[in-house]
Chain A
Amino acid sequence: MLDVVDVTKSFGAKLAVRGLSLSVAPGEVVAVLGPSGCGKSTVLSLIAGLEKPDSGDVRWAGESLLATPTHQRGFGLMFQDYALFPHRDVFANVAFGLRMQGLASEVIHARVGTALEMIGLTGYDRRAVTTLSGGEQQRVALARALAPRPRVLMLDEPLGALDRALREELLGEIGRILRASEAHPAVLYVTHDQGEAFALADRVAVMRAGQIEQLDEPEALVRSPANAFVADFLGLGTLVTARLNGAGEVQTPWGAWPVGAPKSARGRAGSVLIRVDAAAPDHPDRQGPRVAGLVVERVVQPTGCRVSVELDGASERYVLTLSLSTDVAPQLGAPITLVLDPARLSFVAAAEAASDHRTPSASSPVPGSHVHL
């Protein structure tokens, strides 16, 4: 088990990681998801020992690794730009970690062969890495990181440098390779792409400004985002600033709406999350709060028509989007009244200011969750 315990790291005046804790079990894949510059890569540097934390601890099987230099940690790290050794061919790149372990040459040959087969580059042994395509380089980097059978495998935006189509192809492949790995490493996968994180990870840590806002299984993140930042970053819907009153209703610019919220949150400021496609055109049969607005965008799509509606009656600008069949979709600029499905409304706490943020709030603690707070 890899444990990162209350780790803080600053570069000069910039606080890159603040009080971050996280655990990854062997065989588990945890994705660290966040916007660029949130400190994701620094977390990997700290775990790999490329940087020393200002405070906190990094442990494997309960023992601190702070005094262990990088090369003795037995962790694998795949860099965003791959960092393949330009002066060595494919074989020598993949074999590097094995050589450093002092393995016999037959063992190295066998293991490199297996690794190249796994990534589908059998026969590429003597190719210069500088002649490889981006996707091939990416695979060689993955094979190089995996070949020494690391206890912890860290991948830093492994698909970041590739184009869209290649990404989707390799995403499936990485998932297959990670699951097939006999070493069952604890995997940390850093990305800013939600699709990658949700596709690969058992659990996802949403990071912002050096802290984890929420760490949960993908379903739980979608079902109950810890706060407005998480909901917004995951693109769960439209957030409307609101306050939860004592009766368990949220006070919105359009009146009080009944929404699901834990009692503990009563009286707090936050937002109503109007989930994607919570809105439908007004109809007498439909129950729920009603809002009115103007169509500000109308995009015809293969599945119908995506309509964006700017809501009236609020001092701020709020836009809801809904999919309608083309024949009922109103024209651009037309007024429209919408009914909101109460089941698809929820209250989320405000994303707290980063400086005083210590606890990622009332997310439902999932059994087996390894958040240490």
Chain B
Amino acid sequence: MMVMKEEGGGRREEGGGFAPRSSLFPLPASLLLLPLAFLAVFYAWPLATILVRSLAPTGGIDLAPALAVLGRASTWTVIGFTLWQAALSTLATVLVGLPGAYLIGRYDFPGKRWLRALSGVPFVLPTLVVGAGFSALLGERGLVNQVLMSGFGLESPPIQVLGTLGAIVLGHVFYNTTLIIRLVGDAWARLDPRPLAAARTLGAPPARAFLEVTLPLLAPSLGTATLLVFTFDVASFGVILILGGPQFATLETEIYRQAMSLFNLPGAAVLTLVQMVLTLGLAVAYNRLSAAAARRGLNAGTGGARPRLQRVRGVAAWAALIFTLAVVSLLMGAPLLALVGRSLVGPEGLTLSAYTELFVNRRASAFYVTPAQALLNSLGVAGVTAAMALALGLPTAYVISRPGRAGRALDAALLLPLGTSAVSLGLGYLLAFSRAPVAWRSEAWLLPVAHALIAFPFTVRSLLPAWQGVRQRLRQAAAVLGATPWAVIREIDLPLISRAVIVAGAFAFAISLGEFGATALLARPDFPTLPVAIFNYLGQPGALNYGQAMAMSTILMLVCVAAIVVIEGLQPEDAEA
């Protein structure tokens, strides 16, 4: 999962005698037909199917089955554990991230850009890669245990982290720490320094001034960032499944288990309903909170004067720097390096056998394909996903960027896919597309459709600021020079937003590559994507399988990192400021 920073709205059109609200280029409503039809068929309908299956399983409304599921103690155990692990993970994430936020927000130092960028790498890595990374570092067959076992002649691995609540928390901290560092750090950097200076001149010692001035001013952004982390932790799927293992059940993993292992689709539907209510509620709360924070920011804390960043000096700054470096290198760097290292180490030392094996089909049955084929599947699906996400996102972002009610309504509607977990979506597809004439559940193209829908909000969010930044005056100039409305889009809009288009496409590509939640339910056995293959190989015994899982994870990580480099490299320069 990924998230985009909330952009502070695009530049408004300039006035200067020309009315800003000119409805100059009335484009055909058909522009929106494609996205709306797509959302209706591949989002609204599957979710409606889930609703119907859980609340009206036999035709008429019948709440008894749903209430029966809700009446079970096990259901509440699952819900309770979902919230408990999310709360615990969020607390740990905030504590680990705050020193970094302080560092980013207050200090300038060589390599700051790099630190910031590196801290963001885990966030965009597929959960399977992360799971494999932690397994490579701390698992029973991981590097640490292997070194300890050979070093001390032990019979069994001494460290048992995987399969504990601690591993889940560790995975979530790994993923989401960058959210705290970036969102809170950036807000910190934007804080008006004058209130703090005033408090200091009024006699408040630094710690007191921090508690009474800085912290309250920072509270809105800290609150929104924390809520965001919590939301991601609630909807987390891969981390729970891979790092926690089968003994832990959150709503997401339980939906998966009910649907895929127990074939209890109605039961899964009820759980999905609960999950949807929960995530949607969190999304709405997040939106409210961030809107309120933005409003308050205008009046008080942020805006106006910006503090000058200081050089790293003093105990607090050095402690924060060392701590953050440790987090980035040990918590984030080590598992990924262990992953690469483990993929190159076989029973007889350094070897590339894990990579060469990727092209060999050991289980030559129709339903097993080589890992290399899975990689090709993934790349193909990701390419199609990127194209579809752009085809949907471009017209949608265009309409939202224009003034008017339609744009605002669409903007709000985009919240909905954001508030739906991937596993819920996958289940919706299984339920909705099971019967003719829409028996699509085993069609290969359903996978990129699901991925495009998951990427859709992010694509729109990437395109929107660029499109809002295109000055209306340029379109007017082109029209006066004889450009038709379509020519204006072709000649003015698209060239000016081309970078954002590439960024949005790369985002969709990266999301699709790593997507596991919906894919786990939808991928056919003979058409696995790379994450599915990794998951299968991780679950197999044998050194060769394990090595191959590591090799595939390494490849997947590198492809994702390449996509991130494209995204970071093409972001407008002032996005960092």
Contact = CB atoms under 8 A, between A and B. Distances in A.
Interface residues of B, number: 26
Interface of B: 14, 16-19, 21-22, 24, 471, 473-474, 476-485, 487, 491-492, 495-496
B471 A83 contact: yes
Among B14, B478, B481, B491, the most chain A Cβ lie within 10 Å of the Cβ of: B481
Given A83-B473, A83-B476, A87-B496, A148 B482 contact: yes
Nearest to A190: B17
A151 interface: no
A88 B492 CA distance: 9
A101 interface: yes
Contacts of A35: none
B478 A96 contact: yes
Contacts of A42: 17-19
A311 B366 CA distance: 108
A51 interface: yes
Interface stretch (A70-78, A110-118, A320-328): A70-78
A79 B481 contact: no
Interface string A81-118: 10111111000000011001100000000000000000
B477 A41 contact: no
Interface in A145-199: 145, 148, 156
A155 to B, nearest CB: 12
Contact of B473 (A74, A79, A148): A79
Contacts of B482: 71-72, 74, 97, 100-101, 148
A275 interface: no
Contacts of B19: 11, 16, 42, 45, 51
Contacts of A75: 480
Contact of B477 (A74, A83, A87): A83
Nearest to A95: B481
Contact of B474 (A50, A74, A77, A83): A83
23 contacts: A11-B19, A41-B18, A42-B18, A42-B19, A44-B17, A45-B19, A49-B479, A50-B24, A70-B24, A71-B479, A71-B482, A75-B480, A77-B480, A79-B473, A80-B16, A80-B17, A81-B16, A83-B473, A84-B477, A86-B474, A96-B481, A96-B483, A100-B481
Interface residues of A, number: 38
Given A83-B476, A100-B481, A50 B17 contact: no
Given A83-B474, A85-B492, A51 B484 contact: no
A24 interface: no
Nearest to A10: B19
Contacts of A16: 19
Contacts of A49: 479
A96 to B, nearest CB: 5
A240 interface: no
Nearest to A160: B16
B498 to A, nearest CB: 8
Contacts of A41: 16-18
Given A96-B481, A96-B491, 14 more contacts: A41-B17, A42-B18, A44-B17, A45-B18, A51-B19, A71-B483, A73-B480, A81-B16, A81-B473, A97-B481, A97-B482, A100-B487, A101-B482, A148-B482
A24 B348 CA distance: 91
Given A70-B24, A70-B480, A85-B478, A51 B471 contact: no
A148 B492 CA distance: 18
Contacts of A40: 17
B480 A76 contact: yes
Contacts of B485: 71
